Structure formats: structure tokens, C-alpha cells
């Protein structure tokens, strides 16, 4: 099979790329053909033959995550030539082999695969961090929903995954026109799109924060950002959220030109 791997390495997040690529090549679907779509503002002089680099300006926080679907969809025609497409968080590190049986969704699973942490298994869905602003396109009323999906790992067959990206992007554009930013950005819109759908559900084993004890037994870990950036990244996020209303008007409309 032909597998497309989507990765955003903008600004300081590019530090995670070498370990991500090395571990993904070794452990993620090792018997299949993989090509990487690397979206970055820092090109490498030397890169592997299976890596495609695309320049992406830094949209700040939360623009780089909120508008990721729009970034990917610029290359929809290229992505449509692959059998399956997968997106991974920038700080993803593979620790053990992941086979097709584990990660490839079938027809009964809607040809989509997503991640949900075990911490949500024992709580009421009323406590899920869904978007609760009824004016947002990502709004989910209390009492609805079976799982809370993490945005750090998702994918599927190209047809179904491109449809997911297009619909989530439409929701985000609608919110943007109304001056709304969903509480968990693209993740909120992902959860709204998947509401009531049957999907292949991955456990914490396939995406566990490095700080958690469970990461010692996981196949995929999300490396600690604080280990690389300290508390500075928190300050950046806090500062950028105040300027985001202005920046999104300027930058987001540029994306639609």
C-alpha cells in the first residue's frame, strides 16, 4: 500500500522531526511504502527521497493547529493518490512496531482511525471536553457522544479522510466568519465530525504523553514539550492567544485568496 504521513514542523517544533522520521520509518507500517508530507518554515538541504517539503508560514498559536486541515487540503490532489493517509502530532515518537492489522480501518469502521485516551473511559460524557459553545459549528450538547477523540493521531483511507478534513475545515471557516475559536481548536471540530460515527478506535497505547507512567508500555509516545521548551512555550501560547483575533483576520483571509 501507499501511505501518506502528514507532519507539521514549524518553528521550534522542527526539533522533533528527526526522531519522528527515524522512528516512523522503523516502526510504523514497516512493510508498506510511506511518503512524508512535511509542512515547515525551515527546509533541510539534505532530505530522504520519500520526504516532500512544503513551505508553511508560522500562523502562531493556535493557528498552526486550528488551520491544519486547510493547510493539508492545498495538496488534496496529491494526497488522493495514496491508499491511506495519517496525521501525527509533531512530538510523536514510535517505540514499537505497528502493523496493518492494528492501524488500518475497515469498512465497518468507516475507514477512519482515531485515538482516545483511557482517562475518558471511566467518566461521564457530560465531562468530556467537547465544545459547549452552542454558537460554534463544533458544538456538542451535554449527554451526547461516546468517546472523546485526541487530535494527535488520526487518519484513514484517502477518500474518507479527505472528506473528514474538508468537513472539519468548513466548520472552522464557519466559526472564523462568526469570530469563534473552538475551545480545543481542530480537535473540537474533529470530535463534532465523528459524533455518532463508527471508527477504528486506538487506545492510549498508541499515543501516550511521555510524562504518564503508561508511556513505558505504549507503542507511541508524545514527547514532553516542556523537556525541550521549558515553560517558554506556555508563555508563547498565552501571549499569542491575545493577539490571535487580530492575526487570524489578517492571515486566515490570506489563506482563502
- 6-60 pLDDT, tens digit per residue, is 999 999 999 999 999 999 999 999 999 999 999 999 998 889 999 999 999 999 9
Place of cell 459524533: 195
Q: Are strands 84-88 and 150-157 parallel, antiparallel or unpaired?
A: antiparallel
User: Contact, 156 vs 111, CB < 8 A?
Assistant: yes
More confident residue, 103 or 248: 103
SS3 content of the chain, % helix, strand, coil (to 5): 45, 20, 35
Q: Which of 179, 194, 157, 154 is nearest to 65 (CA)?
A: 154
The per-residue pLDDT for 247 is 44
Task: Average the pLDDT over 230-244 and give the result.
Answer: 51
Nearest to 54 by CA among 30, 32, 78, 31: 78
**Average pLDDT of the residues in 218-224:** 96
User: What fold is seen in the domain 2-255?
Assistant: Spore Coat Polysaccharide Biosynthesis Protein SpsA; Chain A (3.90.550)
pLDDT tens-digit series, residues 82-112: 999 999 999 999 999 999 999 999 999 999 9
The span from the CA of 68 to the CA of 36, in Å, is 15
pLDDT at 143: 94
Q: Which residues on neighbouring strands pair with residue 13, listed in sequence order?
A: none
Mean pLDDT confidence for 166-188:
97
What rounded mean pLDDT belongs to the chain?
Answer: 91
In terms of Cβ atoms closer than 10 Å to its own Cβ (0-12, 13-18, 19+), residue 14 is middle
pLDDT at 239 over 80: no
pLDDT band for position 234 (cuts 50, 70, 90): low
Amino acid at each position: 500500500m501507499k501511505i501518506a504521513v502528514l507532519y507539521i514542523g514549524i518553528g521550534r517544533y522542527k526539533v522533533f522531526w528527526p526522531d519522528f522520521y527515524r522512528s516512523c520509518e522503523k516502526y510504523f507500517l514497516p512493510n508498506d511504502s510511506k511518503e512524508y508530507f512535511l509542512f515547515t518554515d525551515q527546509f533541510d538541504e539534505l532530505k530522504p527521497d520519500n520526504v516532500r517539503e512544503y513551505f508553511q508560514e508560522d500562523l502562531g498559536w493556535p493557528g498552526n493547529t486550528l488551520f491544519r486541515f486547510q493547510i493539508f487540503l492545498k495538496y488534496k490532489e496529491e494526497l488522493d493518490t495514496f491508499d491511506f493517509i495519517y496525521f501525527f502530532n509533531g512530538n510523536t515518537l514510535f517505540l514499537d512496531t505497528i502493523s496493518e492489522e492494528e492501524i488500518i480501518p475497515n469498512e465497518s469502521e468507516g475507514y477512519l482511525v482515531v485515538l482516545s485516551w483511557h482517562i475518558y473511559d471511566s467518566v461521564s460524557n457530560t465531562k468530556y471536553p467537547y465544545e459547549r459553545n452552542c454558537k460554534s459549528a463544533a458544538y456538542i450538547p451535554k449527554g451526547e457522544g461516546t468517546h472523546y477523540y485526541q487530535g494527535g493521531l488520526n487518519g484513514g483511507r484517502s477518500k474518507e479522510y479527505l472528506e473528514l478534513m474538508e468537513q472539519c475545515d468548513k466548520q472552522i471557516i464557519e466559526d472564523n466568519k462568526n469570530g469563534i475559536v473552538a475551545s480545543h481548536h481542530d480537535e473540537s471540530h474533529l470530535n463534532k465530525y465523528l459524533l455518532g460515527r463508527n471508527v477504528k478506535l486506538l487506545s492510549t497505547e498508541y499515543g501516550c504523553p511521555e510524562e504518564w507512567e503508561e508511556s513505558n508500555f505504549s507503542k507511541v509516545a508524545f514527547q514532553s514539550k516542556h523537556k525541550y521548551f521549558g515553560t517558554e512555550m506556555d508563555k508563547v501560547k498565552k501571549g499569542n492567544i491575545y493577539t490571535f483575533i487580530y492575526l487570524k483576520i489578517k492571515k486566515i483571509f490570506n489563506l482563502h485568496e
